[in-house]
Structure 1
């Protein structure tokens, strides 16, 4: 069962970004679930590879939007994205060295999934009003 279920409270009102956020939440949920239920290494690696690629693309797109619309939280957004990417690298390193574990599943849940939901609600939501000003 997903830890975070996409709903309107997570939508920021920009369809392309909302779609990307929904995809990322689904994959982060899948990763926590796969790790928690001790599924195969191949499935976990597939999810991590998807996240690695998709997160980078999403963050790049979102950062460009924030700069284009002169969003005042653009630099905060970039710093937050950098922190997320650092944590994702730590997760990948831990998986490579020690494999999946309950403690790593908890880390993914708390430091990636919960972080991402809070980031959407606090920072990403600031983009839509900036777009409406132009």
Structure 2
């Protein structure tokens, strides 16, 4: 997947973190395409755990600072994503890497990028632009 300007919310720190996620997503896709998804899944899950702590903290801090009206809903989506990542990690630890876990991680990352970042996170940038326009 290629980064699109339309994914940007207008906050460099957040946009940079989103681009970082896309790089990891593409690395995982490439590994899966080359039948190396099994080898890459644990590394990708570790990245996601670290990423969610840093990125969600940054994003939620920003939303709190700007009094974003949908903060609670956004936090719930973040918590659901973390739960999915932890469930995948647990499945890999207890059952080993399977085609199913690899597919689920692919789908989770793709859905997150397309749905959450491109739609939900865009609302943050839109809200900030509205607030600037009112000022």
Question: TM-score of the superposition, structure 1-length normalised?
Answer: 0.83
- Consecutive unaligned residues of structure 2, counting only runs of 5 or more, are none
Mapped pair 1:130 → 2:119:
no
| Paired residue total | 130
Mapped pair 1:56 → 2:53:
yes
Structure 1 equivalent of residue 36 of structure 2 = 38
Structure 1 equivalent of residue 115 of structure 2 = 118
Greater than 6 Å deviation, 4+ residue runs: none
Indicate the SS of the match to 1:105. Answer: helix
Instruction: Write the distance in 1 (CA, Å) between the matches of 2:68 and 2:97.
Output: 39
Tell me, yes or no, if the aligned pair for 1:87 and 1:112 is still in contact at 8 Å: no
- Shift of residue 33 of structure 1? 4.0
- In the TM superposition, 1:6-85 aligns within 5 A as 6-35=3-32, 37-39=35-37, 41=39, 43-85=40-82
Tell me, yes or no, if the aligned pair for 2:38 and 2:102 is still in contact at 8 Å: no
Deviation string, structure 1 residues 55-79 (Cα, Å, up to 9, x no partner): 2110011001001101111111100
Instruction: Write the distance in 1 (CA, Å) between the matches of 2:103 and 2:38.
Output: 18
Instruction: Write the distance in 1 (CA, Å) between the matches of 2:92 and 2:81.
Output: 16
Q: In angstroms, what is the RMSD of aligned CA positions?
A: 2.0
Tell me, yes or no, if the aligned pair for 1:35 and 1:101 is still in contact at 8 Å: no
Indicate the SS of the match to 1:70. Answer: coil
